Amino acid sequence: MDALYHQTNKQVHEVQLHMGRLETSDKQSVHLVENEVQARIDQIFSNLERLEILSSKEPPSKRQNAKLRVDQLKYDVQHLQTALRNFQHRRYNREQQEREREELLTRTYTTNDSDTTIPIDETLQFNTSLHNAHRGMDELLGSGSSILDGLRDQRRTLKGTQKKILDVANMLGLSNTVMRLIEKRAFQDKCIMIGGMLLTFVVMYLVVRYLT
């Protein structure tokens, strides 16, 4: 089990490095990097399934610690999966905006007398701004939903991990100071989740107020 654990942990760090490459990749290579990152994440999930089986077969004295290590890896890879989905969602919306802007710039409007191109009037500009505002709202809602889903998954993982740590603490007699640190970390994660939700709502309100 140790060999597979260290291999999987190394793969998690490699995925983190590849996530950094996504932000600097050009349009031609970003899809290849995304596919490579997703393939590595899928491999990590496959390893985690094997590790869960192996951890359940560990001796009782090592079983709890083995499960904790596997849960930590699961937490890390779920966070990476959420980050990849958010990046893909932003890239898709950015490319869609670029295509629509290109179509708008290359489109010509002529009169019945076949005159030269006429300028876009104020109504078209207003409709374009309104459409962009709606698209921005859809992007914010999608990103917010993905972030909240990731936070909920992480919170559930942390709850399970905290319970297992408490079980281990009862077995090994950890100090009260360590227990308080664990509870403080859980409270901080809850505050971060609530703060993220409030920030998302504020940004959505500002978009609706100033772009429509």
Q: Is residue 79 part of a domain?
A: yes
| pLDDT surpasses 80 at 57 | yes
What confidence score (pLDDT) does residue 205 get? Answer: 72
Residue 98: give its domain's CATH number.
Answer: 1.20.58.400
Return the higher-pLDDT residue of 148 and 42: 42
Residue 203 placed within a domain: no
Q: How many domains does the chain have?
A: 1
For residues 212 and 206, what is the distance between their CA atoms, to the nearest angstrom?
Answer: 10
pTM over 0.75: no
Q: For position 113, what pLDDT does the model report? A: 46
Lowest mean pLDDT among 9-18, 89-98, 115-124: 115-124
Q: Which long-range contacts (CB under 8 A, 24 or more apart) does 37-42 make?
A: 37/80, 37/84, 38/84, 40/11, 40/14, 40/15, 41/15, 41/77, 41/80, 41/81, 41/84
User: 70 lies in a domain?
Assistant: yes
- In a domain, residue 92? The reply is yes
Q: What is the mean pLDDT of the segment spanning 97-107?
A: 81
Enter the tokens of residue 188.
Answer: 């901080």
Q: In this predicted model, what pLDDT tens digit does every residue of 176-192 receive, in sequence order?
A: 666 667 677 777 777 88
Residue 39: predicted pLDDT: 92
Per mean pLDDT, which range of 29-43, 53-67, 113-127, 172-186 is the poorest? 113-127
Is residue 24 assigned to a domain?
yes
Whether residue 136 lies inside any domain: the answer is no
Please determine, for residue 38, whether its predicted confidence score (pLDDT) is greater than 60: yes
As a whole number of Å, the CA-based R_g of the chain is: 24
Half-sphere exposure of residue 192, counting CA atoms within 13 Å on the CB side? 12
Q: Residue 42: which domain range?
A: 1-105
Whether the per-residue pLDDT at 115 is higher than 50: the answer is no
Say which range, 32-36, 50-54, 127-131, 196-200, has the weakest mean pLDDT: 127-131
pLDDT the model gives residue 188: 78
Q: Which two tokens stand for residue 104?
A: 């708008």
Residue 68 has pLDDT above 70, yes or no: yes
What distances in angstroms separate CA 101 from CA 94, 107, 130, 184, 196, one per listed residue? 11, 10, 14, 49, 31
Q: How far apart are CA 28 and CA 41, in angstroms?
A: 22
Q: Is the residue at 9 inside a domain?
A: yes
Report the first-to-last Cα separation within the chain, whole angstroms.
57
Residue 53 lies in a domain: yes
